[in-house]
Amino acid sequence: MISIYQSGLIAAFICIIIAFISLYQETDDLHRLILTDLTEIMALLLIALIATDLAEALILPGLVVMIAELMALAEIYLVKEGIQRKKNSSALDIEVMQTAPPILAGILVLYGIILSGFSGGAVAGLGIIFYSVCKGSDELFAQIETASGYAWVAWIAAFFIFLLLPGQWFFAVMIAGGAILIKVMAKFSLIGTMGGDPGV
């Protein structure tokens, strides 16, 4: 007799396999990105079924990143299909927008680092959004995405430290907290400034 829990695991595995097959057969780049998010949803479902404390810790970061990516994909799709026409953004003609960005953005980023985690990432992301709106965001995208990628690697490394070296849990927590801070900050800032980038 198969229990409901086992049925859920089997269904999750089947959905993951279907998503990967669809991802392999799809040729449109935008559709492949959407299918990647679908695969991530199935992976989060599988993690949720494991129902351990560590699995619970993995779900929230995954959801945050996934929602940010879906928002970015929606923005790209609107532009690609011509549903929404992009307008070149210009900085507001206010003196504080010309002189204060480095100071205010630095304060927000520093405060976000002190908060750490998701709240810190959101606050630091606001600082980057403010700076990007005032000074322009084109040159920041590559650096932000690079930092986001390294942060993801660090977060995965912290996960393995938890598993393989449980005695070093505090070190792993520090790595994970810093990585989540950078990851959320990067996604938050990219989503916030995407509307002003005519090259997207």
65 and 125 part of one domain: no
145 near 167, Cβ under 8 Å?
A: no
For residue 200, being part of any structural domain is answered with: no
Most confident range, picked from 8-17, 78-87, 128-137: 8-17
Q: What are the start-end ranges of the H helices in 26-100?
A: 29-50, 53-80, 95-99
CB atoms near residue 2 (< 10 Å): 8
187 and 138 part of one domain: yes
- Here the contacts of 68-72 (C-beta below 8 Å, separation 24 or greater) are 68/187, 68/188, 68/190, 68/191, 69/33, 69/37, 69/187, 70/37, 71/191, 72/190, 72/191, 72/194
100 and 175 part of one domain: yes
For residue 91, being part of any structural domain is answered with: no
In single-letter form, the type of residue at position 67 comes to I
- Whole-number average pLDDT of the chain: 71
| pLDDT higher than 70, residue 56 | no
Per-residue pLDDT, 92: 53
101 and 133 part of one domain: yes
Tell me which residue range forms the domain holding 147: 96-194
Cα separation, 125 vs 115, whole angstroms = 12
63 and 119 part of one domain: no
180 near 115, Cβ under 8 Å?
A: no
| pLDDT higher than 70, residue 101 | no
12 near 49, Cβ under 8 Å?
A: yes
105 and 188 part of one domain: yes
Q: Quickly list DSSP for 127-171.
A: HHHHHHHHH-SGGGHHHHHHHHHHHHHHHHHHHHHHHH-GGGHHH
77 and 110 part of one domain: no
| Residue finishing a domain among 81, 116, 134 | 81
> Which residues make Cβ contacts (< 8 Å) with residue 105, sequence separation at least 6?
127, 128, 130, 131
Number of domains observed in the structure of the chain: 2
**Range 108-134 average pLDDT:** 71
Cα 120 from chain centre: 14
Per-residue pLDDT, 196: 47
Continuous segment of H or E residues that includes residue 22? helix 4-25
Cα separation, 195 vs 72, whole angstroms = 10
145 and 101 part of one domain: yes
| Residue finishing a domain among 36, 53, 81 | 81
200 confidence band (pLDDT: 50, 70, 90): very low
129 and 190 part of one domain: yes
53 and 127 part of one domain: no
For residue 134, being part of any structural domain is answered with: yes
- Least confident span in 2-6, 92-96, 182-186: 92-96
User: Which has more pLDDT, 130 or 91?
Assistant: 130
For residue 56, being part of any structural domain is answered with: yes
Cα separation, 156 vs 173, whole angstroms = 12
125 and 75 part of one domain: no
118 and 188 part of one domain: yes
> Which residues make Cβ contacts (< 8 Å) with residue 53, sequence separation at least 6?
none
